[in-house]
Structures are given as C-alpha cells and as structure tokens.
Structure 1
C-alpha cells in the first residue's frame, strides 16, 4: 500500500430500507463521474442493503490532489470504510472506478466480500480522452452563464449529446454566477498516465468476482480475458446486450438485476 496521504472523500450514505444486517455495497464511479450519477441505482439497491457511493479525489465534491495512482485512490476508499465502521463490503466500480475497486480488492482482500467490475479490464489502455479534456477546458475558458451556452462550448470538441450531458454534470455555478468546473481537470490530466495504467497490487484477487461488459464496448475484449483471469481468477464474465461502455445507463434494468443476483448470493 502506498504511504501517500489520503483525502477525505465526499460520499452518499444510504441506509437500508429493509434488512439492516446485509452486507453494505460500496459504489465507485468512473472518470469524470461522481456519486450523483448513480442515484437511481442507489435507490434500488437501498431497498435491501446500505449503499455508500463515493466521489473519488478530483471528482464531485471531493478534494483535489496531484496523486491519481490506484493504490492511493483505493486507500482513500478504505479510509472511508474505516470512518464508517464498514469492515467488509461488496465493492462495485465502473471504468476507472473498476480499477480502483480491483486495486482495493488486491491490496485488502479481507475487506471485500465480492468484487463487481463494470466494463474495464486490469490492463493498460491507450490515450483516448483528448476530446473530453479539450471540451472541459473550453467550457472552463468560455465561462458559460447557462446550460445551453455550456453545451455549445462542449460541442466544439464532443459530438455526442449524451457525452456532453454527462460532462456537464461537472459544471456548477460559482460566485461569479458562471458555470465553472468542480472536477480537478488539471490534476486528472497530469495523472492520466496512471489512470490508463494497471491497477495496483501484485497478487491476484481470488474472491468472488463479476465482470459486466457491454456487447458494443471495446473496453473488455475477448483478447483481454487471459490477462483479466490472471488477476481475477474467479471472475464471471457477463456481457450485456445492446450496451456500450455506459452499460449501467444504457441497460439499467439488466445491470441492476445482474448486480443484485450476484451480491445476494455472497451476502454475509
């Protein structure tokens, strides 16, 4: 585990509406996301268990930091679990958050009852977010006064309306009455080589693992599966039809059902 200082993560803590003794679920968002993106899913999972969704460092309402290594980010989540007196949990992460979850499971396997990974493999990826960085920088420079102006600025670099709406969740009105970035864009960009790199840890995680991938996504391809199984030897691979990288948004019901069935089986 890295000796880097942790940051005090912002989080949503939603108490179970039913059984108080079921194992909690910790949810970790992806790059440029936040806990807020998961609210509709959290409300469903809350029916049966306590759910904690985090804002990773440089995201959402959490503090900014130059260190974007996976060992450090997983240590942030473990520190939050300690703060909330959660000794063990199901841990779910999407995309970058999936690598944080894998890192946490490898570095502290005794804390993870089951691991759930959304559309990411424990491999190094190529650079692929230049348009996102450019769009957010343009929005920051343009100082939009409303969401329409912000969308016009983002559209100079990102064609997809859905992607622009997602990126716009990082814009909040500031003291100057303009929409400014709450995400630590510069810190993220400087740490991007760590983000697209390998998750932390040296040993495999041999606990129960579910990897959900989108049939139309290129993030978990068949040729990555040998490397995936080297690190997650007990992984069950489930492919969601008609879903890309944002499988939890594109196929929410199928995603929820797969998660529910898996974690209920391993509740303690």
Structure 2
C-alpha cells in the first residue's frame, strides 16, 4: 500500500509522524513545519484516513507493516518515529516488530494497554449524517451536533468531509471499516513484545490516556522509556501546548 504523505525540510535526519484515529497528516502540519527546520519530516496519512488508500483490514499489524513498507519505499535510513493516539499504537507495534528500522520513538498520549471502546457516540454521529442532504459543512455540523456537543471535536471530525467537483460530499475516512474494527483499534500490545531502543512518552495531565499506574506497563515494553506529562494539556497536547510539546520533543531527539 502506498500511503499519502507530506514531506517537509531537508535535514540529514528523518522524522516520520503518524496521526490518530479520524485524523490526517493535516493535523500535524504546524508541528511538522517547526521540526522541519532541523529534520526531514514525513507526515503520513495512515490507511483508511486522509488521502491514503482504503482497505478492509485495519489492524496495528497492518499499519505497522505499512510504515515499514513506507520506510523501505522511500529509502529512509533509521528515522525517528512519532505517533499520536492510534498513531502512537501503530508506532509502538512497529517499534517492537521492526526494531532495526528506526532510531528513536515518541509516543504521544497513549499507553501500550487496551482501552475500553469509547468512540461509539462519535461513530454513530458520523454514520447518521445524510451526505446526500448535505449542501454545506454547516448542514453536516448541525446533524453531528445531536451526537457530538463539543464544537472543537466536530470541527476536527468534519475535516474528513470531501467535496467533489459536483459539490457532492463524501468521507475521506473509510467509516464502515473503522466502525467494524473499533475494538481492534482499542486493543493493547502483546506482552511478549518489547524493545530497548530510546522511547519518549508525552502525555497530557488533563488526559486520561496515560495514568500513573500505566508507567509499569510502559516500562515493561520499553525499559529505556522516558515519560513526560504536560501540565494543562489534554489529549491534543501538540495543539494545546505547542511550545512545551516542541521543547520536550526537541530535547529528546537531540
């Protein structure tokens, strides 16, 4: 599978960034541009997201293999890998199954554990939108608001709407497949997998994704892991606290 991506910068060292569930490479452009001052940055659309191909399979095994293939296709030598949320799980799975293909790993606000399925309301809301009746994004927003009250979350989700030349709307994401595989997306890593490569976990103190009791699990998989929690940040650390986030990332990579 040939993944869609954006390439920024001309640094001698490469950094690959993976977005989270319902996201795309666009979510990381601001951070990517900043990091491209020092690194050659690849921001990738994972399968079934953004402008990358759709597939009936959506598993961390498949997405980790997509990443390995991407590195080989573009002849990238020992890149740093950074993944947020679902992208963090992809990056972790990749790190422990392809330890020879990367240098350092950064995992943003996710732990290697299984999580209860908690996107039901979002998925129901997205599926409820009658795309044939949507004439503007405001129409879609109005329909989605019955399921997702938070404006910021709706704006993020509706970035997945695509309008063609006939002004008809469709989803960029493979909504049906993501819905069918939501339990796999929530699963944890297998206990037998581990790597001793340098790993940084960055969590938001206002987020529930990384808790203090998760530190033991993190260290079981990644003995050389460093954990940094950002004050005043939730799940979207890179958007909520970009300066603090970049400072932590740059210190680790240097």
**TM-score past 0.5 threshold:** yes
1:53 is the counterpart of 2:43: yes
Please say if 1:8 is aligned against 2:28: no
Which among 7, 11, 20 is matched to residue 30 of structure 1?
20
Tell me, in whole angstroms, the C-alpha distance in 2 between the residues paired with 1:37 and 1:11: 12
How far apart are the structure 2 equivalents of 1:179 and 1:260? 39
Q: Does 1:108 align with 2:98?
A: yes
Residues 9, 38 of structure 2: 8 Å contact kept: no
1:222 CA displacement: 1.1
1:209 and 2:203 matched = no
Q: Secondary structure at the match of 2:107?
A: strand
List aligned pairs for 1:118-267, cutoff 5 A.
Answer: 118-141=108-131, 143-199=133-189, 202-264=192-254
Check conservation: 1:146, 1:178, Cα contact below 8 A.
Answer: no
Measured after TM superposition, the shift of residue 200 of structure 1 is 6.1
Can you give the 5+ residue segments of structure 2 that lack an aligned partner in the other structure? Answer: none
- Measured in 2, the distance between the counterparts of 1:143 and 1:10 equals 29
Tell me the SS of whatever aligns to 1:111.
coil
C-alpha separation between the residues in 2 aligned to 1:138 and 1:257? 41
How far does residue 225 in structure 1 lie from its aligned partner after superposition?
A: 1.5
Moved over 3 A (4+): 140-143, 199-202
1:4 paired residue number: none
Pairwise CA distance, 1:134? 1.4
Q: Distance in 2 between matches of 1:141 and 1:179?
A: 6
Q: Supply the distance in 1 between the matched residues of 2:132 and 2:189 (Cα, whole angstroms).
A: 35
5+ unaligned residues in a row in structure 1: which ranges? 1-6
CA contact (8 A) 2:161 2:170 kept: yes
CA shift at 1:43, angstroms?
A: 0.7
Provide, for residues 46-101 of structure 1, a one-character-per-residue CA deviation record: whole Å limited to 9, x for no partner: 11110001100000001111211111101101111111110211100000000000
Give the Cα–Cα distance (whole angstroms) in 1 for the partners of residues 181 and 128 of structure 2.
20
Question: What is the CA-CA distance between 1:172 and the residue it aligns to?
Answer: 1.0
In 2, the alpha carbon distance for the partners of 1:143 and 1:131 equals 21
Q: How many residues align?
A: 254
Query: Structure 1's 10 and 143: CA in aligned 2 closer, same or farther, altered over 3 A?
Result: farther
Tell whether the 8 Å contact from 2:131 to 2:169 is kept in structure 1 after alignment. Answer: no
Q: Is the 8 A contact 1:92 1:98 kept in 2?
A: yes
Q: RMSD in angstroms over aligned alpha carbons?
A: 1.4
Query: Structure 2 CA distance, aligned partners of 1:232 and 1:143?
Result: 49
1:142 Cα deviation from its structure 2 partner: 5.8
TM-score between the two structures when normalised by the length of structure 1: 0.91
